[in-house]
Every structure is written in C-alpha cells, then in structure tokens.
C-alpha cells in the first residue's frame, strides 16, 4: 500500500476508529511517511489526538500544551453564542485546536464553520486577546489534561444558518447579564466583557 493509500484509508475511518489506532500500528504507518505526509496525517486525525496516539501508554497521563482559537460571536442584540458540548454539561465558546501549519485566523474560521455552520470572512475577525496561563487548563472526562494557549476573536458579521454537529448538544445566544453558570470558558468570556465595558465607558 502506498503512503497516499494509507492516508486515504485513515481519512475514511470514523473519529472513534482513528482514536483507536494502536501505538504499534501508528509506528508502522509513520515510519514510511515524509514530514509533509506526517503533517497531513496529523491534520486528518486532529493534532491533539494524533499527539496522544504517538505517546502510547502515556497518552492520557501526559499534560499536553495545545494552541487554538475561540470566538465570541455576537448577534444584532449584543447576545453571545454559546454551545453546550456533547462531552460535558458545560456551555462554551465555539473554537478548537490549531492544525499543523495553520494560521489562527484559518483555525477559527474553520472551527466556526464546523461547529456552527456559520460563514465568517477574515476581515470580520476582531482580535480580543491572546490568553494563556493556568486559567486555560482543561480536564476532559476521559482523563486528558491540557493547557490551552487561545487566540480569542470577536465576530459580529457572519452569514449562514445556525446548525451544530455531534460535538454539541445545543447552541444558542445569551444576554451578557444572563449567562449560564456552568461555563466551559469563563476566563475568555470575562476578558470579552471587560473589553466591552471599556468600549462603552
């Protein structure tokens, strides 16, 4: 099987099947791949999952530093869009991990499309802040622990019909003064509110 055929075969696997690739199988796959092909494979599987697969038995023990982007999507009423994630009972901002070789602008445009079905142009991205540190720690139900470095954007102009994929249980706009208590990204939302308050003074 050629390298192209190997990558194409993995593309056709379900998300769960990709996550279940064994460490031994991954070694055999990667041995024949070039650096560019490894980057492509990583982006097919998703960088954090791919990284953990490469760690073998330590995959759920290693605390992973991951880069990504999140968006405060604001409607005409000034409400912000939050998603109720399928893997936990918390509301958070649309966003996700950066792929290898991807700009943060492309990351958030891709993630918004995947998670909300909304279309956003790069010129409509407003940089709010780059957020890092202990507030960006995230503990997942499967035992994974990550520290995120997050580029936070604000989006006021977008198009398309709001829909969500299997990553979310629900998605809706909330008034700033009536946000759910069980938040996944309270630090990011607080930064947005502080910036908003500065503008209105």
Question: pLDDT tens for residues 150-174?
Answer: 999 999 999 999 998 777 788 999 9
**Which residue, 14, 30, 58, sits at the end of a domain?**
58
Q: What is the mean pLDDT of the chain?
A: 93
| Global confidence as pTM | 0.89
Domain span holding position 88: 64-200
Q: Which of 39, 58, 77 is the last residue of a domain?
A: 58
Closest CA relative to residue 2, chosen from 36, 37, 26: 37
- Residues 125-153 have a mean pLDDT of 93
Based on the fold, state whether residues 189 and 95 are members of the same structural domain. yes
Reported confidence tier of residue 200, pLDDT bands at 50, 70, 90: low
If asked whether residues 54 and 68 sit together in one domain, one would say: no
The pLDDT of residue 100 is above 90: yes
Residues 90 and 186 in one domain: yes
Beta pairing partners, 150: 68, 131
Stretch 108-113: mean pLDDT, rounded?
97
CA separation for the pair 52, 174 (Å, rounded): 35
pLDDT of residue 79: 96
């Amino acid at each position: 099987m050629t390298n192209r055929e190997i990558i194409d075969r993995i593309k056709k696997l379900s998300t769960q099947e990709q996550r279940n690739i064994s460490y031994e199988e991954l070694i055999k796959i990667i041995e024949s791949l070039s650096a560019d092909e490894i980057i492509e494979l990583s982006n097919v599987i998703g960088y954090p999952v791919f990284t953990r697969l490469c760690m073998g038995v330590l995959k759920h023990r290693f605390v992973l530093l991951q880069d990504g982007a999140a968006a405060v999507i604001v409607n005409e009423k000034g409400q912000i869009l939050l998603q109720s994630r399928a893997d936990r009972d918390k509301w958070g901002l649309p966003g996700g991990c950066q792929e290898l070789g991807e700009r943060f602008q492309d990351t958030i445009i891709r993630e918004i499309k995947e998670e909300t079905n909304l279309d956003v142009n790069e010129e409509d991205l407003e940089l709010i802040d780059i957020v890092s540190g202990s507030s960006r720690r995230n503990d997942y139900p499967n035992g994974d622990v990550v520290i995120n470095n997050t580029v936070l954007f604000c989006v006021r102009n977008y198009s398309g019909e709001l829909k969500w994929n299997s990553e979310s249980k629900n998605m809706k706009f909330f008034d700033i003064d009536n946000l759910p208590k069980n938040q996944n990204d309270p630090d990011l939302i607080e930064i947005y509110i502080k910036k908003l308050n500065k503008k209105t003074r």
